Copies of this chain bind each other. A is one copy, B any other.
Amino acid sequence: MPPIKVKMLDKDEAKPAAETGAKKPAKAGRPRTRIQREKQDVILEAALDVFSREGFRGATIDQIAEAAGMSKPNLLYYFPRKEEIYKRLMTEMLDVWLAPLRDIDSDGDPVPEIRSYIRRKLEMSRDFPRQSRLFANEMLQGAPRIIDVLSTDLKGLVDEKAKVLESWMERGKIRRTDPYHLIFSIWATTQHYADFDVQVRAVLGKGRGGEGRFEDAARFLETLFLYGLLPKQP
C-alpha cells in the first residue's frame, strides 16, 4: 500500500527554477528564508478562513490580506496570485484529509478498523472544519481544480479500499453491501458535522449544540454503522 502522494498539477513546477537574482526573488520559488516560511503560513491560515467561507471566486485578496494582517501587495509578494494560495491549500488539505482512509489496515480486525475510521473522520471534522469546508466548496463548484486528482489518485485509493471491504464481506466479517457507497456514507455523515455545523447547532439548540455534540454524533454513528454492518445472523 504505497502512500499515494496527492499532488495537483502545477505549471510552475516545470519551470527552470526562475532567475534568483531578479527584483522579486521570493515569488516563484518555495520558501527560502525564515520570514518567508512564517509569513506564508500566516497567509495560508488566513486564506483558509476566507476561501472556506466564500469559495474561490467569492474570496478576495484584500480579505485574505487583512485577515493575515498585511497589505495586499505585501501578500502578493509571497504568493504572486490568488490561485497559487488556493492551490497550495488544496494539495495540503487533500493530503491530510485522505490520511484516515489510507490508514485502514486490510490486516486489521474489520469492525474496529471501520469504527476507528469513522472516529478519525469525525475528529477531523471537529478539529479541522475549515479544511472540510474548503473541500466542500470546491466540490460544489464542480471541483474544477481537482477533478483530475479525484478521478486518478482518489479513485485509485478508494478502489483499493473497496477491495479490502469486499474481502471482509466475503469472509463474513461484515454484511455484504456496496463498499463504495459505504465509504460515501461515512464521508457524508462525518463531514456533515463540519460543513453543516451552523445547521447542526441551530437544530440542536443551546441545550445540546455545545461541544458535546461530537460525542453524541460519534456514539450515534457507531451504532448506526455497527448494526448496519453486522453480518447476517446465522
Contacts and interface: CB of A to CB of B under 8 A. Distances in A.
A115 interface: no
A175 B58 contact: no
Interface string A165-197: 000000000010110111011011101110111
Copies of this protein, total: 2
A38 to B, nearest CB: 29
A221 to B, nearest CB: 7
Contacts of A223: 175, 177, 228
Interface in A111-128: none
A86 interface: no
A42 interface: no
A195 B184 CA distance: 12
Which 9 residue pairs spanning A and B have beta carbons closest together?
A228-B228, A57-B58, A188-B192, A181-B220, A58-B58, A150-B202, A151-B202, A224-B228, A188-B188
A142 to B, nearest CB: 5
6 contacts: A54-B57, A178-B216, A182-B224, A184-B217, A188-B192, A224-B225
A200 interface: yes
Interface residues of A, number: 61
Interface in A194-211: 195-200, 202-205, 208
Contact of A219 (B57, B58, B178, B205): B178
Given A55-B55, A58-B57, A220-B182, A205 B139 contact: no
A40 to B, nearest CB: 25
A45 B178 CA distance: 35
Of A175, A187, A197, the most chain B CB neighbours within 10 A belong to: A187
Interface string A136-165: 110111110001001100110010000000
Contact of A198 (B143, B158, B227, B230): B143
B178 A220 contact: yes
Contact of A53 (B142, B175, B192, B208): B142
A149 to B, nearest CB: 9
Contact of A184 (B55, B155, B180, B192): B192
A131 interface: no
Contacts of A33: none
